[in-house]
Amino acid sequence: MRAQLPECGRSRDVILGELTALKAADYDWQRGRVPVYVFKTSDEVSEIGRAAFFEYFSENALGARRAFPSVKKMEEEVVGMALGLLRAPDQARGFMTSGGTESITQAIQSCRDWSRKRRGRRDHRGNIVAPESAHPAFDKAARLMDLEVRRAPVGPDLRADVAALAALTDDDTIMLVGSAPCFPYGVIDPIADIGALAEKRGIWLHVDACVGGYLAPFVRMIGRPIPDFDFHVAGVSSISADLHKFGFCPKPASTVFYRSAELAEFHAFDFADWPSGRFTTTTISGTRPAGAVAAAWAVFNFLGIAGYKQAARELMGFVDGYRAGIEAIPGLKIIGDPHLSIVAYGSDTLDIFRVAEAMSRKGWLPGLLQKPKAIHRMMSQLHALGLEDYLSDLRAAVETVRADSGRQARIEAIY
């Protein structure tokens, strides 16, 4: 039956007790049993982010320009620090958003309007050319704006195939897409080559670094090979990067950046024909939590470059051990050669979805790929806590499936 608003309010203790009871049915993400959705580097970082968020619990970032100059200052400083990490030129601009989908949507809107102005056609309906591994947020945004998305197959290394992208472009193409890394396979696309194509054709290139934007720069700093993906590549017009992933900031917090003020000019919504006066926002949402801004500012200042480098060392060291443990189990193999902390693994001899079902029965929420069939995990330091348990349960699951190979898996890949 539909829930009903209670006639009388209940006590604080009763309500909090019920919340605790409700959470008992959730997967135990704090011991790494969830393959996505939650990110953590340490208790100290989580606490500083939480404290800053609640310091600004009631403030509204919509009013940052008029009522809350402290929020405006913190947002500008977060954007400035992030632009430095992404090797942006002095004329680059950026904005905070609520998440990767909003960052991508804003970039597509900016690209569409920039393209319309350049073409002198306010009614132009363009297309976006992306590898099949690009995030569905591009299709979601395109549906909102009545744009076409053309997806090209990836190459044998699971990275974007530049020749395949080029074959799908035409005079109506307004945007090329690359990922750093893509969510399915964890590989960074050849952004330098896509950038060269974008420059040659005069097309906007957006790099979706929602996963890697606040991890890849520090992984590079600790000496690991990371392909160029940021504004160091001349053809890159815009970049999205999520603070609430490997920036280790509380949700909801993301960023979107533009190479120049000219491109960023098309980002904001500005409407003056209203009785209450001019209405301007730099996000799709109006009201948004100032706590997310304060928390991102606090975490950036708490960790600094040294703290993020240490987090990168710890994370990548754990991922190395995780990959080695997987590859030591007969019948399993890593999919592709992931650059960061997304790792997927499959099998040529076992039904990997049946392995996922067996892991689910042991309390692990399975992340899955359907092309190719694989088990998928996007890891942060919280996954290190359950590494030995995970590998032990995985070995047992593989043996269970190997001993009973006749049944078909019923599970399906769902994000």
Does a structural domain hold residue 186? yes
8 A C-beta contact, residue 250 and residue 57: no
Q: Cis peptide before 181, with omega less than 30 degrees from 0?
A: yes
Same domain (yes/no): 213, 361: no
Same domain (yes/no): 206, 257: yes
Same domain (yes/no): 209, 331: no
Same domain (yes/no): 379, 334: yes
Same domain (yes/no): 34, 102: no
| pLDDT at 415 (0 to 100) | 82
All residues at 6 or more sequence positions from 293 whose CB lies less than 8 Å from its CB, including other chains: 56, 61, 64, 71, 74, 75, 78, 96, 253
Query: How many other CB atoms are found less than 10 A from the CB of residue 394?
Result: 21
Kindly state the tokens that stand for 373. Answer: 């069939």
Does a structural domain hold residue 403? no
Same domain (yes/no): 35, 124: no
| pLDDT at 349 (0 to 100) | 93
Kindly state the tokens that stand for 117. Answer: 């102005």
| pLDDT at 413 (0 to 100) | 85
Does a structural domain hold residue 282? yes
**Alpha-carbon gap, residue 287 to 408, rounded angstroms:** 48
| pTM of the predicted model as reported, rounded to 2 decimal places | 0.96
Does a structural domain hold residue 413? no
**Alpha-carbon gap, residue 272 to 259, rounded angstroms:** 27
User: Which regions in the chain score pLDDT beneath 70?
Assistant: none
Residue with tokens 């704090």, as numbered in its chain: 30
How many whole angstroms from its chain centre is CA 356? 24
Domain endpoint, select from 277, 301, 325: 301
- Domain housing 360: 12-42+309-398
Same domain (yes/no): 187, 91: yes
Does a structural domain hold residue 295? yes
Domain endpoint, select from 301, 336, 359: 301
Same domain (yes/no): 292, 267: yes
Query: How many other CB atoms are found less than 10 A from the CB of residue 44?
Result: 11
CA proximity to 34, closest of 383, 399, 396: 383
Same domain (yes/no): 160, 237: yes
| pLDDT at 412 (0 to 100) | 87
Same domain (yes/no): 52, 21: no
| pLDDT at 1 (0 to 100) | 87
**Alpha-carbon gap, residue 306 to 273, rounded angstroms:** 49
| pLDDT at 410 (0 to 100) | 84
| Structural domain total, the chain | 2
**Alpha-carbon gap, residue 121 to 133, rounded angstroms:** 31
| pLDDT at 385 (0 to 100) | 87
Query: Which CATH number does the domain housing residue 386 bear?
Result: 3.90.1150.10
**Alpha-carbon gap, residue 166 to 150, rounded angstroms:** 11
Same domain (yes/no): 146, 222: yes
All residues at 6 or more sequence positions from 367 whose CB lies less than 8 Å from its CB, including other chains: 35, 36, 375, 376, 377, 378
Pairing of strands 279-281, 333-334: unpaired
Percentages helix, strand, coil for the chain, rounded to the nearest 5? 40, 15, 40
Does a structural domain hold residue 211? yes
Domain endpoint, select from 279, 301, 323: 301
Query: Which CATH number does the domain housing residue 147 bear?
Result: 3.40.640.10
Same domain (yes/no): 237, 169: yes
Does a structural domain hold residue 412? no
Does a structural domain hold residue 231? yes
